[in-house]
Amino acid sequence: SSELTQDPAVSVALGQSVRITCQGDSLRTHYVAWYQQKPGQAPLLVIYEKRNRPSGIPDRFSGSSSGNTASLTITGAQAEDEADYYCNSRDTSGNYVVFGGGTKLTVL
């Protein structure tokens, strides 16, 4: 089992906003990152250190965190945003890396 918990599936209407959450005790003390993974592709980093976007990631992707919960928000979801999303951070010991179980985002 993962130390980071995500909802298995979330859906959003095209053009609307959606929030994907990640819960875990380690998030109180360690940064979170988020990845997008489309079928047959390697994961793509979309948010790092809680709220920073790598170059080339659209600004409709944003991150936030409070207490033991981190969130990835997509403002104005597009069809191409349909994918699996994973959060990741360190575990509570800080010695290992963990991933959340993933959230499948469907854009309706």
**Contact residues: another protein, CB under 8 A:** 2, 30-31, 33, 35, 37, 42-45, 48-49, 54, 84, 86, 88-90, 95-102
| Region at 80 (left for phi over 0; alpha for psi -120 to 50; beta for the rest) | alpha
Of the two residues 71 and 88, which places its CB atom closer to another protein in the complex? Answer: 88
d(CA 48, CA 69): 15
Minimum distance of another protein from residue 53's CB (angstroms): 11
Minimum distance of another protein from residue 96's CB (angstroms): 6
Of the two residues 81 and 100, which places its CB atom closer to another protein in the complex? Answer: 100
CB within 8 A of 75, min separation 6: which ones?
17, 60, 62
d(CA 39, CA 83): 7
103 and 6 Cβ atoms separated by less than 8 Å: yes
Minimum distance of another protein from residue 1's CB (angstroms): 11
Minimum distance of another protein from residue 46's CB (angstroms): 10
